[in-house]
Amino acid sequence: ILAMAVKDSLTGGSTDDDSTKDEWQKKQEPLLVQMLAAELGVETEDILDFELNLFDVQTASLGGLHSEFVHSARLDNLASCFLSLRGLIDHVKGGGVQNDEDISMIAMFDHEEVGSSSATGAGSPIIGEAVKRINHALGAGADSPILYDRAIQRSLVLSVDQAHAVHPNYASKHEKNHGPVMNGGMVIKRNANQRYATNGVTGLIIRQLAKNAGLPPIQEFVVRNDCGCGSTIGPVISTATGMRAIDMGCPQLSMHSIRETMGVKDFTHGLALFKAFFSDFSAIDSKIEE
């Protein structure tokens, strides 16, 4: 960048070789643009804009005395994306869709770490519009808008982001009775200030799903009262749509580091819980309503 500034100063801001470039192209690092052009098999002049991100390309690895931990980049939140997708695929392959009275779906949003306020974030109309389109496809939404309202009321959103496990060096950061551990099962996240969307009913549904599936008791995460609390997409979707929601996830360490750590068993626990949700949610929810 400094070299380009010096060059512009000495040449008056333009030279014969960049006379055909627009202002955006002139401000890019030439070596970077050349590398991109070579990778894409195009001329540098053909690149009019780009969005680039750097990320760790190392593959995941197992660690611990008994290989009980997974070390990988972006476990938050690719772990939940993988588990939800795998759970839905297994639900379909197992014939669950043929017996479903509900619509089973997953949504993976951009920009959760920066507030979700974007056209492709959880704060967008995507979920509400998806429900409307499904209603229309089933022949219900156009002539009976009240069915859309009922669909919203009967829906449940699992906002499944990763959860902070107790760090042995900073155990005091957790409430004494609400410190999740890795390989100990899925975690429900609660916050009195509504930073998480979990309430008594949605928490009960998930605990009962886990119990029926023979999974370890659901762990609970509560931030200490004198500590700040992050948030995720549960409250965002609930506010935008009126759907019930719960915030939960797999416990992990080193969240947002270039290499994160979670328990191997929690992949199994998470997948089993997603499959139980797709197959058994309606039955449990109807009993609560009664």
Question: Measured in Å, how far apart are the chain's first and last C-alpha atoms?
Answer: 67
Residues 129 and 148 sit within 8 Å (Cβ to Cβ): no
Say what angle helices 264-289 and 200-212 make with each other, to 10 degrees: 120
- Nearest CA-CA partner of 107 in 196, 234, 218: 234
Residue 124 DSSP class: S
CA separation for the pair 197, 245 (Å, rounded):
6
| pLDDT digit string (tens) for the chain, length 290 residues | 566 666 666 666 555 455 667 788 888 999 999 999 999 999 999 999 999 988 889 999 999 999 999 999 999 999 999 999 999 999 999 998 888 888 999 999 988 887 888 888 888 999 988 988 888 888 765 556 788 888 888 999 999 999 999 999 988 888 888 899 999 999 999 988 889 999 999 999 999 999 999 999 999 998 888 887 778 999 999 999 999 999 999 999 999 999 999 999 999 999 999 999 999 999 999 988 64
- Give the separation between CA 108 and CA 250, rounded to whole angstroms: 16
pTM of the model: 0.85
| Beta carbons within 10 angstroms of residue 127's beta carbon | 22
pLDDT of residue 99: 83
Whole-angstrom Cα distance, residue 269 to residue 191? 23
Using CA atoms, how far apart are residues 75 and 64, in angstroms rounded to an integer?
A: 17
Residue-level pLDDT at 66: 97
- Reduced to 3 states (helix: H, G, I; strand: E, B; else coil), residue 103 is coil
